[in-house]
Amino acid sequence: MFSSSLVALLPLLSFTPRTLAAPVPLFGINLGEGSEATGNPTPISQSTITDDLLRPALFARTAYCPSSTLTDWSCGAPCNALPGVNVFTAGGDDGEIPFYYVASDPQTQTIVVAHEGTDPENFYSDLNDIKFSQVAINATRFPQAGSNVQVHDGFQETQGRTADTILSTVQSALASTGYTNVLVTGHSLGAAVASLDAAMLKMALPSNIEIGSVVFGLPRVGNQEWADLVGSLLPSFTHVTNQNDPVPRVPPRALSFVQPVGEAHITAVNNSTGDATMEECPGQENEVRAFRRAVV
Ligand X SMILES: *[C@@H]1O[C@H](CO)[C@@H](O)[C@H](O)[C@H]1NC(C)=O
Task: Tell which positions 103-162 bind ligand X, by CB under 6 A.
Answer: 138, 140-141, 160
Which of 87, 111, 163, 218: binder of ligand X (CB under 6 A)? 163
CB of 86 to ligand X, least distance (A): 26
Report the C-alpha gap between 166 and 162 in whole angstroms: 6
Nearest distance, CB of residue 61 and ligand X, angstroms: 19
Taking CB under 6 A as the rule, does residue 164 contact ligand X? yes
* Contact window for ligand X (CB under 6 A) among 72-80, 86-94, 232-240, 271-279: 271-279
Q: Does 168 engage in binding with ligand X (CB under 6 A)?
A: no
What residues from 251 to 270 belong to the interface with ligand X (CB under 6 A)? Answer: 270
Q: Which is nearer to ligand X, 140 or 147 (CB)?
A: 140
- Rule CB under 6 A: choose which of 273, 291, 294, 296 binds ligand X: 273
Q: Is 32 in the site for ligand X (CB under 6 A)?
A: no
What minimum distance in Å lies between the beta carbon of 164 and ligand X? 5
Nearer to ligand X, 207 or 272 (CB): 272
Residue closer to ligand X, measured from CB, 138 or 284: 138
Name the residue nearer to ligand X (CB basis): 17 or 235: 17
Q: Please, what is the minimum distance in Å from the beta carbon of residue 14 to ligand X? A: 8
Q: Among residues 47, 207, 208, 272, which is the contact residue for ligand X, using CB under 6 A?
A: 272
Asked if residue 271 binds ligand X (CB under 6 A), the reply is yes
Total number of residues binding ligand X (CB under 6 A)?
A: 10
Beta-ladder partners of 66: none
What DSSP line would sit under the chain, residue for residue?
A: ------GGGHHHH----GGG-TTS-BTTB------------EEE-HHHIIIIIIHHHHHHHHTTS-HHHHTTT-SSHHHHTSTT-EEEEEE--SSSS--EEEEEETTTTEEEEEE----HHHHHHHHHHTTT-EEE--TTTSTTS-TT-EEEHHHHHHHHHHHHHHHHHHHHHHHHH---EEEEEEBTHHHHHHHHHHHHHHHHS-TTSEEEEEEESPPP-B-HHHHHHHHHH-TT-EEEEETT-SGGG-S-GGGT-B--S-EEEEEEE-TTT-PEEEEEE-SSS-HHHHHHHHH-
Chain residues in the site for ligand X (CB under 6 A): 138, 140-141, 160, 163-164, 270-273
